[in-house]
């Protein structure tokens, strides 16, 4: 136990002190912050220069006012249009918006004219268009004698309220959305972390084999101790990174956004102006409130331990397999590809099945895959927020534990022979023979 | 004083698939001796060493260290320097040695004091923070040597310890091997380079195709394989048609003779005959075969 502790400590400390680890761990939160800052800067710029625009509206279509955001100021000049245009040349106005009198109230097409040598920016012209459209709507309603109050009662907003029959869990219209988001994010993270750190285990085994340091080591420790020490040490590095990210990313974003004077709401506001998001402000707020309640309502005290269990189970099974493969490869790192492929295959499958389970968590594909070892460590975490039946979770966990122990046993058999074989890559046939040796 | 056997190998056999890498080998290494494990490439030296270091287990037979039969547990008072040198390239020299010493059961303080002892001895105190990848081959060989002996093992196994070393470092390591022997350690020295064996080893075992074909003290073996050849230097003129009973004479340059006797020829008989012929002898030496000659002869005969 003392030796395995030393091995774990070496694997952990050399990795954590490594520059690449430090850079990825601490730069990733900064990178995310940078992304947010740049994105919001890009989204807010372009509409920041103020423009004075004269409006020529002889037939009073606009009823003397036009509102197209904070950056565009309109002045109604109903004197001779040529005089106004001259004032554009003098610099008083950026341009003159000429509102053409309406000939046909029922026409669905309508054009205004903008007199200027400077083109309107895209967001400016779309703001102006939307503002005129609104005014024109009022104008048409009036001209066609339609009751505005009656009209507003025609459109109905529909919500489906889920009511559970058996369970006493509170569900709202946001439950599915929030569950999907949690499942999707955790499932993808599982896939990514298992792949990333499994591959690190493999590289580390290969490094020791190529360095021949393994020969010195296994005259001191058992191959199994060496392999497990490595798997656990690298796994702890993975956990460290996740924990640091979970803590650092929100802190850095919070500090960063307040430092740059950014408000996440600004982002939604700008998108609103651009017309990318038709939801209005209050609706967004309500939604955010609902998401928050949903997040608080999740059974985190059950979810988090389960997620940890699936991470450990999945990581150990894959890392052991990667270690076995690392031991079987010869000198050339490129040779590993042919051997890693069969290990990557179930992992990639599980990721795709997991992503489909986000939208259909109770499909038979998702249900079965969430119980099959090697797939379950990604698929079940996706399904967990949707509260799958307890028997499925239990079957999945029991199978996973049995299979993981079996994988470690299998990998240890391959590993102890593989690390002493030099010169060429082992075939699957040879590895099978090592297992039964 | 009776010396005990540090290592005792009895009837050990190891089979890989269909060939016997080590076939019924028995040998013993005495405390405080240097033991040469010789053999051509592929003779089974590495397999034998791997069994002593418990990297692999024998199919049959027993290996005991200090009287204890080696089982699955790794022996701590054993130091092994494999032929293919291996250290972590990106780890610092000091941290690496500390790690390996701790794996061998030393506490951190013990390990630190032993490492600094060797650093001082080799005058490499500035290397602690260097990475192995920054060192030359000869330099990393020194580090490897320290890694092998840092925990003061009773039995040290050195597989081709001098490959890649320049003459200065070869002597440095050679001196340390003698020092370790003086301090009571036993050393197994595996090589196929005979001239080193003659200088260093007390006893040797020659294995070929997994079997021991020669086992004994270096001097005894050399005597056993002597071919009664004597080298003589004289002054003055040699009588014409000189003959010696039971021997052939070959004249060499600069007043030298090589006399090849028959088995059983005694040096005094030859000397007596020469003196009677009034030849003034300046030098007289029996030429013993080199281990290399014995090696080639023995190996060739097992191939025949």
Q: How far apart are the first and last CA of chain B?
A: 43
| Residue B283 Cα, gap to closest chain A Cα (Å) | 50
Q: Is the pLDDT of residue B301 over 90?
A: no
Cα separation of B164 and B276, whole Å?
A: 53
Please provide the size of chain A in residues.
437
DSSP-derived letter for residue B131 is B
pLDDT in tens, A375-398: 999 999 999 988 889 999 999 999
Task: Sort out which chain B residues have CB atoms less than 8 A from A218's CB and list them.
Answer: 55
Contact A238, A192 (CB under 8 A): no
Tell me the average pLDDT across B118-126.
89
Q: What is the pTM of this model?
A: 0.75
Torsion, Cα B51 B52 B53 B55, to 10 degrees, reads 10
Query: Which residues are registered as beta bridge partners of B260?
Result: B229, B248
Phi first, then psi: what are they for B105, rounded to 5°? 100, 0
* Any B CB within 8 A of A195 CB: no
Indicate the residue of B82, B89, B90 with minimum beta-carbon distance to A216.
B82
Query: Which residues are registered as beta bridge partners of B247?
Result: B244, B261
Please provide the size of chain B in residues.
304
Cα separation of B291 and B299, whole Å?
A: 12
Asked if A10 lies within 8 A of B99 by C-beta distance, the reply is yes
Query: Which residues are registered as beta bridge partners of B232?
Result: B257, B284
Cα separation of A193 and A245, whole Å?
A: 13
Which stretches of chain A score pLDDT less than 70?
A: 1, 43-48, 166-173, 260-284, 330-333, 423-424, 437
SS3 state of residue B17: coil
What is the pLDDT at residue A135?
A: 86
What is the pLDDT at residue A279?
A: 47
pLDDT in tens, B96-113: 999 999 999 899 999 999
| Residue A334 Cα, gap to closest chain B Cα (Å) | 20
* Any B CB within 8 A of A212 CB: yes
Q: Which stretch of DSSP H or E encloses residue A8?
A: helix A2-16
Asked if B84 lies within 8 A of A222 by C-beta distance, the reply is no
Cα separation of B303 and A151, whole Å?
A: 108
Tell me the average pLDDT across B268-294.
84
What is the pLDDT at residue B111?
A: 93
Indicate the residue of A6, A213, A221 with minimum beta-carbon distance to B88.
A213
B116 or A104: whose pLDDT is higher? Answer: B116
What is the pLDDT at residue A119?
A: 82
Residue B301, CA atoms < 13 Å, CB-side half-sphere: 8
Q: How many CB atoms lie within 10 A of CB A53?
A: 21
| Residue B163 Cα, gap to closest chain A Cα (Å) | 16
* Any A CB within 8 A of B299 CB: no
Cα separation of B293 and B298, whole Å?
A: 8
Task: Sort out which chain B residues have CB atoms less than 8 A from A415's CB and list them.
Answer: none
Tokens of B187: 């050393």
Cα separation of B112 and A307, whole Å?
A: 42
Cα separation of A407 and B261, whole Å?
A: 70
Q: Band the pLDDT of B6: cuts 50, 70, 90.
A: confident
| Residue A10 Cα, gap to closest chain B Cα (Å) | 8
Tell me the average pLDDT across B150-158.
91
Chain position carrying tokens 């030849």: B279
Contact A175, A361 (CB under 8 A): no
What is the pLDDT at residue A277?
A: 43
Cα separation of B215 and B207, whole Å?
A: 9
What is the pLDDT at residue A280?
A: 54
What contacts B75, CB < 8 A, 6 or more positions away? B53, B54, B65, B155
Asked if B55 lies within 8 A of A218 by C-beta distance, the reply is yes
Interface test with B, best of A12, A209, A213, A417 (most B CBs within 10 A): A213
Tokens of B138: 């000869």
| Residue B289 Cα, gap to closest chain A Cα (Å) | 36
Phi first, then psi: what are they for A247, rounded to 5°? -80, -45
What contacts B171, CB < 8 A, 6 or more positions away? none
Asked if A215 lies within 8 A of B86 by C-beta distance, the reply is yes
The angle at the Cα of A397, spanning A391 to A403, to the nearest 5 degrees, equals: 130
Closest to A18 measured CA to CA, from A233, A258, A227, A309: A233
* Any A CB within 8 A of B146 CB: no
Interface test with B, best of A220, A419, A422, A436 (most B CBs within 10 A): A220
Task: Sort out which chain B residues have CB atoms less than 8 A from A7's CB and list them.
Answer: 103
Q: Which residues, numbered 243 to 282 in chain B, qualify as contacts with chain A under a Cβ-Cβ cut-off of 8 Å?
A: none
Indicate the residue of B56, B74, B87 with minimum beta-carbon distance to A213.
B87
Indicate the residue of A214, A219, A422 with minimum beta-carbon distance to B74.
A219
DSSP-derived letter for residue B134 is G
Indicate the residue of B78, B84, B104 with minimum beta-carbon distance to A215.
B84
Tokens of B100: 């390996």
What is the pLDDT at residue B74?
A: 66
* Any B CB within 8 A of A6 CB: yes
| Residue B261 Cα, gap to closest chain A Cα (Å) | 50
pLDDT in tens, B190-232: 988 777 788 888 898 988 888 888 888 888 888 888 888 888 8
Cα separation of A277 and A262, whole Å?
A: 19
Contact A234, A16 (CB under 8 A): no
Task: Sort out which chain A residues have CB atoms less than 8 A from B86's CB and list them.
Answer: 208, 211-216
Tokens of A138: 């009022």
Taking CA atoms, what residue in A is nearest to B84? A212
What contacts B176, CB < 8 A, 6 or more positions away? B121, B145, B149
Contact A322, A201 (CB under 8 A): yes
| Residue B177 Cα, gap to closest chain A Cα (Å) | 19
* Any B CB within 8 A of A222 CB: yes
What contacts A228, CB < 8 A, 6 or more positions away? A4, A408
Closest to B129 measured CA to CA, from B96, B100, B82, B163: B96
Q: Please report how the helices A281-297 and A175-211 are oriented relative to each other, as an axis angle in degrees rounded to 10.
A: 60
pLDDT in tens, B48-83: 998 898 888 888 888 888 878 877 566 778 899 988
């Amino acid at each position: 136990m003392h030796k395995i502790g030393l091995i774990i400590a070496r694997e952990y400390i050399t990795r954590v002190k490594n520059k690449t680890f430090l850079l990825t761990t601490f730069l990733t939160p900064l990178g995310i912050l940078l992304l947010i800052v740049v994105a919001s800067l890009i989204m807010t710029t372009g509409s920041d220069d103020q423009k004075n625009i004269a409006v020529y509206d002889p037939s009073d279509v606009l009823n003397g006012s036009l509102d197209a955001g904070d950056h565009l100021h309109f002045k109604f000049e109903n004197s001779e249009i040529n005089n106004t245009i001259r004032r554009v040349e003098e610099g008083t106005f950026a341009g003159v918006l000429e509102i053409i009198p309406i000939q046909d109230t029922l026409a669905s097409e309508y054009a205004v004219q903008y007199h200027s040598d400077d083109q309107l920016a895209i967001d400016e012209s779309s703001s102006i268009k939307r503002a005129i459209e609104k005014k024109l709507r009022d104008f048409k309603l009036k001209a066609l004698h339609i009751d505005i109050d009656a009209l507003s009662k025609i459109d109905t907003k529909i919500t489906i309220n889920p009511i559970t029959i058996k369970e006493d869990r509170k569900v709202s219209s946001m439950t599915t959305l929030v569950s999907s988001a949690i499942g999707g994010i955790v499932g993808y993270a599982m896939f990514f972390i298992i792949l990333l750190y499994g591959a690190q285990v493999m590289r580390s085994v290969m490094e020791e084999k190529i360095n021949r340091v393994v020969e010195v080591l296994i005259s001191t420790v058992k191959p199994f101790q060496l392999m497990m020490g490595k798997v656990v040490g690298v796994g702890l590095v993975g956990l460290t990174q996740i924990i640091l990210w979970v803590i650092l990313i929100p802190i850095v974003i919070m500090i960063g956004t307040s430092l740059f004077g950014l408000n996440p709401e600004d982002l939604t506001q700008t998108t609103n102006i651009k017309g990318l998001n038709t939801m209005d402000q209050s609706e967004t707020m309500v939604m955010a409130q609902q998401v928050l309640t949903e997040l608080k309502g999740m059974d985190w005290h059950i979810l988090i331990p389960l997620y940890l269990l699936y991470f450990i189970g999945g990581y150990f099974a894959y890392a052991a397999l990667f270690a076995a493969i690392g031991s079987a490869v010869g000198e050339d790192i490129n040779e590993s590809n042919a051997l890693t492929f069969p290990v990557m295959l179930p992992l990639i499958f599980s990721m795709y099945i997991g992503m489909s389970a986000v939208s259909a968590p109770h499909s038979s594909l998702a249900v079965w895959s969430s119980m099959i070892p090697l797939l379950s460590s990604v698929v079940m975490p996706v399904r967990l927020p949707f509260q799958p039946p307890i028997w499925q979770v239990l079957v999945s966990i029991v199978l996973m534990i049995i299979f993981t122990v079996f994988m470690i046993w299998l990998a240890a058999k391959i590993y102890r022979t593989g690390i002493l074989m030099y010169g060429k890559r082992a075939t699957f046939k040879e590895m099978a023979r090592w297992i039964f040796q | 004083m009776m010396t005990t056997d540090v290592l005792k190998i009895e009837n050990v056999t190891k089979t890989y698939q269909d060939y016997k890498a080590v076939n019924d080998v028995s040998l013993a290494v005495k405390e405080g001796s240097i033991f040469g494990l010789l053999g051509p490439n592929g003779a089974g030296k590495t397999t034998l060493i791997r069994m002593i270091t418990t990297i692999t287990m024998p199919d049959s037979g027993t290996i005991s260290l200090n009287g204890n039969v080696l089982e699955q547990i790794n022996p701590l008072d054993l130091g092994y320097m494999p032929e293919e040198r291996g250290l972590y390239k990106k780890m610092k020299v000091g941290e690496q040695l500390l790690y390996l010493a701790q794996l061998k059961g030393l506490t951190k303080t013990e390990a630190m004091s032993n490492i600094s002892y060797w650093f001082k001895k080799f005058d490499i105190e500035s290397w602690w923070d260097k990475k192995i990848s920054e060192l030359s081959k000869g330099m990393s060989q020194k580090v490897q040597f320290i890694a092998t002996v840092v925990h003061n093992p009773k039995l040290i196994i050195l597989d081709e310890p001098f490959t890649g070393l320049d003459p200065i470092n070869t002597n440095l390591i050679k001196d340390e091997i003698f020092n370790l022997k003086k301090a009571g350690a036993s050393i197994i020295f595996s090589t196929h380079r005979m001239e080193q064996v003659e200088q260093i080893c007390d006893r040797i075992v020659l294995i070929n195709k997994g079997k021991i074909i020669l086992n004994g003290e270096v001097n005894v073996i050399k005597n056993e394989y002597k071919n009664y050849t004597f080298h003589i230097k004289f002054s003055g003129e040699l009588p014409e048609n000189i003959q010696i009973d039971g021997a052939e004479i070959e004249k060499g340059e600069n007043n030298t003779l090589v006399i090849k006797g028959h088995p059983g020829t005694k040096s005094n008989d030859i000397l007596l005959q020469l003196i009677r012929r009034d030849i003034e002898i300046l030098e007289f030496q029996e030429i013993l075969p080199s281990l290399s000659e014995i090696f080639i002869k023995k190996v060739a005969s097992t191939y025949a």
